[in-house]
Structure 1
Amino acid sequence: MSPRVGGARLLGLGGALPTRVVTNDELCARLDSSDEWIRARTGVRTRRIAGAGESVAQLAAVAGGKALADAGLAPADVDLVILTSSSRPSQIPGLAPEIADLLGIRAAGTFDTIAGCAGFCYALATAASAVTSGTTRNALVVASERVTDYANWDDPKAAPLWGDGAGAA
């Protein structure tokens, strides 16, 4: 029988949403659609859209800070920071080091992943593997998106689905 390997667990969660709320009615003013049509097909009533000062990195840092506080961890307790985002403003440099810096995390490995909707799941599994292998004590995983910068707001089938925000564990 092989020796029991310790597991990984979520210690804290955090989130960040932009301040601007866009309702279905506001969106439908430019689309040939209605609030009822959108809600019946998507369940979406409102979405958040990032404005000036609400970058992918800034949203991520707010969410990450809340997750650390919820977990009762200090920045010095974090060994690994993983950001997943499909809407980073550039491919190079990665944003995980910037997020670590914004949070005061100084001695951690950092990297970005790009995996769309499943990105948080992939990043969380990667962090769990690092913890269970013993190479990491505490990892911070952050998903942060500002996809509304790339959305086609004239497409009535897709526009209602987009929103911005960040979540962390």
Structure 2
Amino acid sequence: MNQGPADAHENLFSNIDHIAIAVRELDPAIHFFVEILGFNLVRRRKVAGEKTGMIAADLNYNGIKFVLLQGTDPDSQVSKLIKNFGPGIAHIALAVDDIESAVDKLSKRGLTFDTTIISGAGLRQTFTSRDFNSGLSFEFIERCGEENFLDQNVQELFSQLERRDVY
């Protein structure tokens, strides 16, 4: 049985922090998660880059977190993601204790990233390039006190992805 890389036992990830889901329409998705599944709507937010935008909703149920994402126009990153890969998982966020170490180790294994490490008060994040085979992208997130998502981090993420024309 293949055990993976020799340093796999180092426990790079501690848990799934959240899963972001690209949706065609935010309000029906919120209704499904809140009214059908019983999640709590924590907050809604709007992000606008220089060229595109998105609206999002943060949901929680007993520590299980989902973030729903909808593009605001056909050229937005989320709209392009849905066009290219369909609605569904935009990324899976894995919690790490040391983001620099995780990025270093995973880069050495061949993982590529679409962003630099984005830092805010109590929260540091980075996002991988999308895997062609699975269609998945991962976020690595180091939380040092901040349990939500910082608007300035989300704005910086959006700006970096927009500059790189990712999705």
Over alpha carbons, which structure has the higher Rg? 1
Q: Same-fold call, TM > 0.5?
A: no
Instruction: Using CA pairs under 8 Å that are at least 6 residues apart, name the structure with larger relative contact order, 1 or 2.
Output: 1
Alignment TM-score, normalising by the size of structure 2: 0.28
What is the TM-score when the length of structure 1 is the normalising length? 0.27
Indicate the structure with greater helix content.
1
* Bigger share in strand: 2
